[in-house]
Copies of this chain bind each other. A is one copy, B any other.
Amino acid sequence: MVVIMQIGVDEAQIQNVIERLNAHGFDVHRSSGDQQTVLGAIGVKPDFDIRHIRLLEGVSDVFRVTAPYKFASRDWKKEPTVVDVGGVLIGGDEVVIMAGPCSIEDEDQINRTAAFVADSGGKILRGGAFKPRSSPYSFQGLGEPGLRMMREAADKHDLRIVTEVMEISRIETIAPYADIFQVGARNMQNYSLLKALGRSGKPILLKRGLMATISEWLMSAEYILSEGNPDVILCERGIRTFETYTRNTLDLSAVPVIKAKSHLPIVVDPSHGVGLRDKVIPMARAAVAAGADGLLIEIHPDPETAKSDGPQSLYFEQFSELMTQIRLIAHAIGRSIEEERATAH
- A residues adjacent to B (C-beta < 8 A): 2, 4, 6-8, 27, 29, 31, 33-36, 38, 40, 42, 44, 46-47, 49, 51-52, 54-55, 60-61, 63, 65-68, 75-76, 132-139, 166-169, 186-187, 189-192, 195, 209-211, 213-216, 219, 222-223, 226, 239-246, 249-257, 260-261, 273-279, 282-283, 285-291, 304, 308-312, 325-326, 328-329, 331-333
Query: Given A291-B282, A310-B52, A4–B65 Cβ distance below 8 Å?
Result: yes
Write out the residue numbers on chain B whose beta carbons fall within 8 Å of the beta carbon of A287. 286
Query: Given A211-B240, A325-B332, A46–B137 Cβ distance below 8 Å?
Result: yes
Name the distance in Å between A64's Cβ and chain B's nearest Cβ. 9
Q: Are B223 and A243 in contact (CB under 8 A)?
A: no
Q: Are B55 and A277 in contact (CB under 8 A)?
A: yes
Contact of A252 among B133, B134, B283 (CB under 8 A): B283
Query: Could you say how many copies of this chain the assembly holds?
Result: 4
Contact of A332 among B40, B133, B251, B332 (CB under 8 A): B332
Give Cα distance in the complex from A42 to B38, angstroms.
10
Contact of A249 among B34, B167, B249 (CB under 8 A): B249
Name the distance in Å between A104's Cβ and chain B's nearest Cβ. 18
- Name 22 A/B residue pairs within 8 A (Cβ), A-sorted: A2-B38, A7-B66, A29-B31, A49-B310, A61-B63, A63-B63, A133-B191, A134-B189, A167-B168, A239-B242, A244-B244, A245-B257, A249-B249, A255-B282, A256-B278, A256-B279, A256-B283, A257-B279, A282-B291, A286-B290, A328-B328, A329-B329
Contact of A289 among B42, B63, B288, B304 (CB under 8 A): B288
- Apart from A61-B63, A215-B245: 18 A-B pairs, beta carbons within 8 A: A2-B4, A38-B40, A47-B133, A47-B135, A47-B137, A49-B309, A54-B311, A60-B75, A132-B192, A187-B190, A214-B243, A240-B242, A245-B257, A252-B283, A253-B279, A283-B290, A285-B333, A286-B290
Give Cα distance in the complex from A337 to B60, angstroms.
33
Give Cα distance in the complex from A68 to B133, angstroms.
12
